[in-house]
Amino acid sequence: MKKITKLKINPKILIIPAIGALIVAAFFLSTQTGGGKDTLSEAIEGGELTLTSMGRNYESLIQFVQNDETQARQLLEAARVALENGKAKLNSAERTNDEYLLGVLGNYAKLVQASNVMAKGVDNLLVVSENLTNAFYYYSHKDYEKASQQASYCLQILTPLLEDFQASYEDLDAMNVFYIPSGQRDRFNLGVDQFKNETGIYNQYVKLLQTILEGKEYLQMNALLDEYLRELQNAIANNDYKTAEEIRQEISKTLESLKDPRYQKAAEAASKLDPKLLGGMASNIAQELRNRLRNLEGIEAFEKYAQSLEKYLEALKHFERKEFTEAEQAAEEGLRILGQGQGGGDSELQGLYAGLSEAFSTLRRKDQPEQG
């Protein structure tokens, strides 16, 4: 009988195929479960593209603010392409079961939603662009009825998205940055800032249109005040002080009526406008509305002007009768009242204060040979 000889194999030789088998298995598992480097890379690339889309959306909005709609549309389309490519990468990476990577993908999903909202915001503004321009045109021509109609239409398109902006704002604010790869955090912070800036600008357009709509009656009353002031100047120029005093009284009555809550609601809306966030005509109109839709403090400052104006008319009548001492006393009293008022940032009221102050000074500089 032949003796069976036991084959001796070097254990080190067995290690090589074993390692190879483990590598193949690991690669197979990584491609199936998404636990490997390729999945993370896909997620990061998807995040980069999403952040790029947020930047393009923000640039698109800035071009809209600067009245370059062609460039705004091109950038908006570029943002959409970047986002679609990013979503494809992120969807591919979702096969993972890695806890950290799932957290990263959860954050990226919030960025995707924020970018969608940003794109919709710019798109909404482009949709209502013509109506927005019409609203500004009618406002500048003091046709407040038509301006409010155009504003109302714009608000129907723009207002519903405010909830989406707010929801994404809260999501981004509460996001755990631990699940943002360290190399992306600067871009992430920039993207969040861009989203928040766009939210502020979009809100300003809505607030501007709401102010035009809610301030229609207040603006009409302001137009009446403007007409009274013109008539007052003509009456004074014609030395018709009786008519001038009657007009001054109408001005005082109009100012008193503007203290009514229905007018002050519009003034409150105007106080929330930030012209610096807007551009061109929108910015100018926002600043004008802040000045012209006066709150109670602004009306009181205007009333000081009316009270001082009463003393000016009194001084004119005394001067005409050569009652120079009485004219001087009335002028001093008028200047004292004027000094109590504050025009603040209201450029129109500051102009009225400066004009009346100069009128008092001119009156007091006139020669008074009969005096003394």
Where are the chain's structural domains?
36-214, 216-259+294-365
Question: Which structure tokens are listed for 278?
Answer: 């807007």
Alpha helices in 258-346 (DSSP H): 261-271, 280-292, 296-320, 324-340
Q: Which residues contact 319 (CB under 8 A, 6 or more apart)?
A: 327, 363, 366
For residue 136, what is the enclosing H or E element? helix 129-140
**Packing angle between helix 69-93 and helix 37-65, nearest 10 degrees?**
160
Give the dihedral of Cα atoms 245, 250, 251, 252; nearest 10 deg: 90
Q: Which residues contact 119 (CB under 8 A, 6 or more apart)?
A: 53, 57, 76, 79, 80, 83
DSSP result, 44-110 = HHHHHHHHHHHHHHHHHHHHHHTT-HHHHHHHHHHHHHHHHHHHHHHHHHTT---HHHHHHHHHHHH
Q: What is the pLDDT along the chain (372 residues), one digit of tens a residue?
A: 333 333 343 444 333 443 343 333 333 334 434 444 488 889 999 999 999 999 999 999 999 999 999 999 999 999 999 999 999 999 998 888 889 999 999 999 999 999 999 999 999 999 999 999 999 999 999 999 999 999 999 999 999 999 999 999 999 999 998 989 988 999 999 999 999 999 999 999 999 999 999 999 999 999 999 999 999 999 999 999 999 999 999 999 999 999 999 999 999 999 999 999 999 999 999 999 998 999 999 999 999 999 999 999 999 999 888 888 898 999 999 999 988 866 656 788 888 888 888 888 888 777 455 444
pLDDT of the residue at 33: 41
Taking CA 212 as the corner, what is the angle to CA 145 and CA 355, rounded to the nearest 5 degrees? Answer: 95
Nearest of 122, 104, 111, 103 to residue 86 by alpha carbon: 111
Contact 198, 64 (CB under 8 A): no
pLDDT of the residue at 10: 45
For residue 203, what is the enclosing H or E element? helix 185-214
Tally of CB atoms within 10 A around 206:
18
Q: Which residues contact 310 (CB under 8 A, 6 or more apart)?
A: 245, 248, 334
pLDDT of the residue at 25: 33
Question: Which structure tokens are listed for 61?
Answer: 């909005």
Question: Which structure tokens are listed for 352?
Answer: 């009225």
pLDDT of the residue at 362: 85
Burial (CB count <10 Å: 0-12, 13-18, 19+), residue 113: middle
What ranges make up the beta strands (E) of 138-222?
A: none
Tally of CB atoms within 10 A around 112:
20
The amino acid present at 241, given as its one-letter code, is: Y
Question: Which structure tokens are listed for 89?
Answer: 């990468």
pTM equals 0.82
pLDDT of the residue at 208: 98
